[in-house]
Each structure stands twice: as C-alpha cells, then as structure tokens.
Amino acid sequence: MRDRAADEAGAPAVPLVAGVGARRGVPVSEVLELITATCTAAGYAARQVVALATVAAKAAEPGLTGAARELGVPLRSFPAAALAAVRVPAPSAAAAAAAGTPSVAEAAALLAAGPGATLAVGKRKSPPPARATCALAGPAVTDSGAFTAGREGAAAVPSAGAVIVNDLPNPPRRGPDRRTAVVGDPAPDSATPGTKEIQ
C-alpha cells in the first residue's frame, strides 16, 4: 500500500477506512479524537478517511453515527459473523464475548476496504475509560500504483472518473454504437425496428 498523505509526485492520498468498535454511550468527541490521533500517529491525515465501519449491533450508536456525520463519510456495518470470518493480527476473547466476533475495529476496516485490503494501523484504544477502539485499513494497490476498490465500496479514490484495473489482452471498449442505460428507461425491445445492428 502506498502510504501517508501523498507522495512528492502528487499521487493521490491513500483512502482509508476507519474500523471502530465502541461501548454503548461513547461520545462523538471520543470517537473523533481517537480517529484523528490514530491517523496522526501513523503519519496520515484524518481527511484520508473515506468511511467508518463497525459491527451491525453498533450501527445506530449515536457516538458512531455522529462521528461519521462530522467527518462527512458513510458508516458501514457488518454482521458479527462476517467480521468473525476476517483474519486479524489481534483477536480478542473479550470482543468475542461482547460482540460475537474476536475483532470489530480491525475486521470491519479490512472488510469495508475490500478484497486485498491491508491494515495501515492496528487496533488502538481511546484514553481511559477507553470506550472506543479504532483501526485503519486501505485498499490494495496494483503494480501500476492504482488503488482497487472492494465490492463493499468503502475505499474509493476520489477522482473525475473511476479507477478501473483491466488486465485483459483485448479489453472491451466504449464506442458510439454502445447504448448507455438510464435508470427508469424501458428495456430495449429486440423486436423494435431499427434497433438491431446489421453487420
């Protein structure tokens, strides 16, 4: 993963997903301070966070929804079983007992960042009484330096167009004869005169 805010060549900053675990009643300020401190300690900027992620049981926790709102990013949530299937470096028996998964912050960050994602920062706790945990994950990076976005879609690079990685020898191309579908349009009718191309 290309690290930190951006390199000297002006490459885009690595988009990050902040996985967050929280106890009931955690204040927004504690979550925001933890995310900012986690980013800063690793040399990242908080503006690189493109999404928060957590376990489904905490998806409506005001401290998490409020933090996502303050950061202007989506809050993604996953069932405990989905998080439990993600391999993490620091599983916790306490988390497994409380949330049904041995990892919330690390697993949620990795799952939301998509296939091939890696941890940029492992789990960190907020200061005592420590009502929140945070981990950062980023998308995989191809050999050409492009970021990949996972099927969960949380870590996408802001750009004028999508970053598409295509290794096919004869990739499909867009031409003037290709129809662009519009939501609400009726499906093309193959029996309609003039819609079938003759080759």
> What's the pLDDT tens digit per position in 97-153?
888 999 999 999 999 999 899 999 999 999 999 999 999 999 876 544 444 444 343
- Report the predicted TM-score, pTM, of the whole model to 2 decimal places: 0.68
- What pLDDT, on the 0 to 100 scale, is given for residue 100? 92
In the numeric block, which tokens belong to residue 80? 């405990």
Quick check: 36 pLDDT over 70?
Answer: yes
Identify the residue with better confidence: 167 or 96: 96
pLDDT tens-place string over residues 1-10: 444 555 444 4
How many domains are there within the chain? 1
User: Does residue 191 form part of some domain?
Assistant: no
What span, in angstroms and rounded, lies between the C-alpha atoms of 144 and 150? Answer: 17
User: Does residue 149 form part of some domain?
Assistant: no
Answer for the pair 71, 60: CB distance below 8 angstroms, yes or no.
no
Answer for the pair 85, 96: CB distance below 8 angstroms, yes or no.
no
User: Does residue 105 form part of some domain?
Assistant: yes
Question: 100: domain CATH number?
Answer: 3.30.420.180
Residue 40's pLDDT band (boundaries 50, 70, 90)? Answer: very high
- What pLDDT, on the 0 to 100 scale, is given for residue 90? 82
Start-end of H helices in 21-177:
28-41, 62-71, 80-84, 93-99, 105-113
Start-end of H helices in the chain:
28-41, 62-71, 80-84, 93-99, 105-113
Q: What is the mean pLDDT of residues 29-33?
A: 98
- What pLDDT, on the 0 to 100 scale, is given for residue 14? 87
Q: Which domain holds residue 123?
A: 16-138
